[in-house]
A and B are shown apart, each in its own frame.
Chain A
Amino acid sequence: MTQQPQPLLDVRGLSKFFPIYSKGFFQRAVGNVKAVDRVSLRLFPGETLALVGESGSGKTTAARTILRALEPTAGQVLFRANGHTVDLAALRERQLKPLRTRMQMIFQDPFSSLNPRMTVGDIVGEPLVIHGLARGSALRDRVADMLERVGLKAHHAMRYPHAFSGGQRQRVGVARALILRPSLVIADEAVSALDVSVQAQVINLLEDLQQEFHVAYLFVAHDLSVVKHIADRVAVMYAGRIVELADTDALFDDPLHPYTRALMSAVPYPDPDVKMRFQAPGEVADPAALPPGCSFHPRCSQCFDRCSQEPPELREHAPGRFVACHLQDGDGSP
């Protein structure tokens, strides 16, 4: 085992609640949607951590709260930049701006995430302009260089997004995210909207650029086959909490949490000889009205008394292997 490097990102107990207001004149807060509830994870330089879950699991909210696109309700987001560690959750907006050059985002929909009135050159160059890092011919050169690195042509800078296919647009989105050479990129369902042949191109591109720039990806996704391919480690979310976190191979070879197993058994494998053996009735828990105890217990085939009474904590089951399930506690603790 090599010595553990310092994490680029160390998220500790991050929560994001959205208040539910009562109807009527006073609009009192009567409850919370616990979109993200005490999420802790670490991301190391140059690695890919996937955050997977179904809709409403809180994976996108968690990613946005980490970047302070949303204000966290509680918790710390320790981020390492220029040799210092800062808590993104505690910084003022003004202190945050210089750090934004170090962290960028790639969005899901390549059609709505690019301004149709800006040329591709303006879109890709905008981060440099906003942070005052380049102008004039230096700006044009860097944009042209970046476009070529993502597999587009320098002369594409003059064109508008509508002239490009979905896959090419996503390349523009990737170029915009990487032109500042960030150390952290959050890719929110970055390949979900693409056709499978184009998806493969963009996945290859993301992997090539990671090698080249040593950037760490927090890869938010729902497609487990993509995650298995691209991620070094995987965190599985259900109803706002991480239920399992492990190295990709360990997780796929031996999923410990019943939800992880259900999720994997539900993936339609593209081989007619490998039959889907799916077992998880019911529907994803509503984060506005979570069941008591473990949020997954109403759908879990192995649920016992304790599961409906006490929420399980995320515990380290083996080195680097975390799971939040009473079945795995196993030490006879009450």
Chain B
Amino acid sequence: MARNAEREFVLEIDDLKTYFDSEEGVLRAVDGVTFAVKRGRILAIVGESGCGKSVTAYSVLRLIQKPGRIAGGSIRLHPRQGPTIDITALDDKAEALYAVRGGLISMIFQEPMTALSPVHTVGNQICEAILLHQDVSEREAEEAAIAMLGKVGIPGPETRLNQYPFELSGGMRQRVVIAMALVCHPELLIADEPTTALDVTIQAQILGLIKDLQRDLGTSVLLITHDLGVVAQTAEDVAVMYLGRIVEQAAVRPLMKQPRHPYTRALLESLPSLSERHARLESIEGSVPALTAIPPGCPFHPRCRFAVAGRCDAGGPPALREVAPGRQVACVRAEELP
């Protein structure tokens, strides 16, 4: 059983809790998140600002800084070769953690300009990643960098190697960041809002590129986004987060065609593109509560049009449970809703 899981999944996260200590108390940014990324597939975590999607991604790389801390749960990485690595158990300065970061798991950030060093050439930055994680000569590293720049669709990679990030456009910079992330053939690529800062035609190019490379290289991808359009066009599996918890999880088609959790439904209904012109948009009442004031019971109940007194507004948050094969929903009324 355990061996099967290792073959099927590249990353397994179990009951992850990432908390931030603040003057107003403990902020539960991620509060009991469980999911797994299937090998060679794209899993999207989608949610609005403050839902904990980025904190989840940063937790996987152990990039949570004080006053934040991983308060519980486990994150296990199953590389194709070698034993399973329990990322949560690694020491802060362990060699194994450095091997994970940028080696086994790499990350693409939202803002390509801040993710790149302004004072180093593109070539330097890509070669640094190679030399850090692979036992190759500088010459070989440079060749690998040129090959990778070509793969991400940068014209004239030999000359680009000597350029600085400011000499490149936003789309080109994001291509460089992707090249840097994939040059060490990671087991898992985490893409945190990789196209949010880009124009729509450039976004389409970059999304296409990520999908092509994922298919060619067999990389598994954890995609963090707020954009349901990006999810529909890119992801294979989806987890929807709200206030630090996963509320619904399924393959992309059933999730978007027949959402079962009231929050997922409301999110999809509030999209202007899916409704009639000038018809009123179905908006969600109110706004996302602060992490200091998470409602009791189901955290979504004050905004939920299906909430019933006594069942939704008291006790602990509803557990994420399987309501149909391959579909998990955290709603006590999942089966009875129209």
Interface residues of A, Cβ cutoff 8 Å to B = 54-55, 165-168, 195-201, 203-204, 207, 222, 224-226, 228-230, 248-249, 262-263, 265-276, 278, 280-281, 283-284
Contact = CB atoms under 8 A, between A and B. Distances in A.
Contact of B270 (A196, A207, A266, A281): A196
A225 B287 contact: no
29 contacts: A166-B49, A168-B287, A197-B48, A197-B266, A197-B267, A200-B283, A204-B283, A207-B280, A224-B200, A224-B273, A225-B271, A225-B272, A226-B272, A230-B278, A249-B277, A263-B200, A266-B204, A268-B227, A269-B229, A269-B273, A270-B229, A270-B231, A270-B268, A272-B256, A273-B253, A273-B257, A276-B208, A278-B204, A283-B202
Looking at chain A's contact residues, is the secondary structure mostly helix, strand, loop, or mixed?
helix
A199 B270 contact: yes
B84 interface: no
Nearest to B169: A283
A259 to B, nearest CB: 9
Nearest to B256: A272
B232 interface: yes
A270 B202 CA distance: 18
Contacts of A200: 270-272, 281-284
A288 to B, nearest CB: 13
Interface string B181-221: 00000000000000000011111110110000000000000
Contacts of A230: 272, 278
B278 to A, nearest CB: 7
Contacts of A283: 169, 171-172, 202
B230 interface: yes
A203 B200 contact: no
A195 B205 CA distance: 24
Interface residues of B, number: 45
Interface in B284-312: 284, 287-288
A195 B199 CA distance: 18
Interface of B: 48-49, 169, 171-172, 199-205, 207-208, 226-234, 252-253, 256-257, 266-268, 270-275, 277-278, 280-284, 287-288
Contacts of B231: 270
A195 B47 CA distance: 9
B48 A195 contact: yes
B204 A270 contact: no
Contacts of B267: 196-197
A284 B233 contact: no
Nearest to B238: A272
Across the A-B interface, give the 9 residue pairs with the lowest CB-CB distance, nearest first.
A225-B273, A268-B229, A229-B272, A200-B283, A266-B204, A197-B284, A200-B270, A200-B281, A54-B199
Given A197-B48, A228-B273, A271 B203 contact: no
A168 B286 CA distance: 9
A46 to B, nearest CB: 13
A286 B101 CA distance: 37
Contact of A229 (B48, B200, B208, B275): B275
Nearest to A232: B278
A262 B271 CA distance: 21
Contacts of B284: 197, 200-201
Contact of B271 (A204, A270, A276, A284): A270
A199 B49 CA distance: 13
Nearest to B201: A266
Given A229-B273, A283-B169, A284-B201, A271 B232 contact: yes
Contacts of A263: 200-201
